[in-house]
């Protein structure tokens, strides 16, 4: 068991996967000699060489297209895109090619590409380096979408993604890279995709979140405890597949739900969660579902702290749900 931060957990996991399976290839802009813009791939090229750690030109469509070809020929590529915002030029490759190979081949061909990308705000990246595009990919059949919130989950989910046969969009909240720390087993372990985690049990209401918003939810819960408010906090961990049963069991117990994410409100993934809860747990709800999100505006630089939901906004949303 080792104590490490989120970024170190990713690095450790990549090394372990490459040692265990020579088919695993890492590729992307500056992933080799530089070790990645955040140094998630630091040390890989020294151990595995330039045939398995590929420095690619700064072209997302080229990186993803190359990874798709590798996967179809039996390799296990893990392309890194420096920021999730840079996935947009490769959207056609991801949506129309990567996501559809299993379907279009009648199940004959899998395309196990694991796309890693730092996501979200909190590091003063401005509008081109701070977006949260998870809903775009959740809308596409054939893709799995994962966003861990701590080092332990990062390792277990990434190993499961690499072992699987389907393409995965593996989003890493950059704000948590060095802020999130915890104990991580030295041996391999696997967290199944599609299992949410109840981070804190409670009875007052259900708070559903993922990624970098989880610490804000926990901070809000701590602040509300002296008032006799005890939220149950759920970390989705995997958006697609979604662990709906855990959400329903919690909402049926508490009768209220608050959903928190930093992506814009309109058509954010929280809207899908709310719709599912209304469809399957309407008779258990004692108040409208509250969404606490980013705003429907380009991600700001100077006003970043105002854009991102914080513990105060989460606490206000919880009070609103309970006051109904």
Catalytically active residues are 129
Strand ranges (E), the chain:
2-5, 24-28, 53-55, 76-80, 114-119, 144-146, 168-173, 181-184, 197-200, 206-209, 232-235, 238-240, 257-264, 290-294
* Kind of pairing between the strands at 238-240 and 144-146: antiparallel
Which residues are paired to 257 by β-bridges? 206
Distance between CA atoms of residues 272 and 279, nearest Å: 11
- The answer to whether residues 80 and 40 touch, using CB atoms and an 8 Å cutoff, is yes
Distance between CA atoms of residues 192 and 63, nearest Å: 27
Distance between CA atoms of residues 188 and 191, nearest Å: 10
Which residues are paired to 118 by β-bridges? 172
Task: Give exposure, 96-133, as e/b (b: 16+ Cβ within 10 Å).
Answer: ebbbbbbeeeeeeebbbbbbbbbbbbbbebeeebbbbb
- According to DSSP H, which parts of 164-243 are helical? 214-224
Any residues with CB less than 8 A from the CB of 264 and at least 6 apart, and which?
Answer: 132, 293, 294, 295, 296, 297
Instruction: Give me the sign of the Cα torsion angle 174, 175, 177, 183.
Output: negative
What does the angle CA 84 – CA 87 – CA 93 come to, to the nearest 5 degrees? Answer: 150
**CB neighbour class for 153 (10 Å; exposed up to 12, middle 13-18, buried from 19):** buried
Q: Which two tokens stand for residue 52?
A: 């398995």
């Amino acid at each position: 068991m080792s104590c490490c931060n989120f970024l170190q957990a990713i690095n450790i996991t990549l090394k372990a996967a490459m040692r265990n399976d020579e088919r695993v290839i890492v590729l992307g802009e500056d992933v080799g000699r530089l070790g990645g813009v955040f140094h998630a791939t630091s040390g890989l090229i020294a151990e595995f060489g330039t045939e398995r750690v590929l420095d690619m030109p700064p072209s997302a469509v080229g990186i993803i297209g190359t990874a798709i070809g590798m996967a179809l020929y039996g390799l296990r590529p893990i392309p890194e895109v420096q920021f999730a915002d840079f996935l947009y030029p490769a959207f056609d490759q991801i949506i129309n090619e990567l996501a559809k190979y299993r379907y279009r081949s009648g199940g004959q061909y899998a395309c196990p590409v694991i796309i890693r990308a730092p996501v979200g705000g909190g590091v003063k990246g401005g509008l081109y380096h701070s977006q949260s595009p998870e809903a775009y990919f959740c809308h596409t059949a054939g893709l799995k979408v994962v966003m861990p919130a701590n080092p332990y989950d990062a390792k277990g989910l990434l190993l499961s993604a690499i072992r699987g046969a389907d393409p995965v969009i593996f989003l890493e909240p950059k704000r948590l890279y060095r802020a999130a720390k915890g104990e991580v087993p030295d041996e391999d372990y696997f967290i199944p995709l599609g299992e949410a985690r109840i981070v804190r049990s409670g009875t007052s209401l259900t708070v559903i979140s993922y990624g970098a918003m989880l610490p804000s939810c926990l901070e809000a819960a701590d602040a509300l405890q002296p008032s006799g408010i005890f939220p149950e906090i759920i970390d989705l961990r995997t958006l697609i597949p979604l662990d709906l049963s855990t959400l329903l069991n919690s909402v049926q117990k508490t009768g209220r739900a608050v959903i928190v994410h930093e992506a814009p409100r309109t058509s954010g993934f929280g809207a899908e969660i709310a719709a599912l809860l209304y469809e399957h747990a309407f008779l258990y709800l004692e108040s409208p579902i509250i969404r606490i999100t980013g705003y429907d505006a380009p991600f700001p630089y100077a006003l970043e702290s105002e854009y991102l939901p914080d513990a105060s906004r989460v606490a206000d949303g919880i009070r609103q749900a309970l006051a109904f």
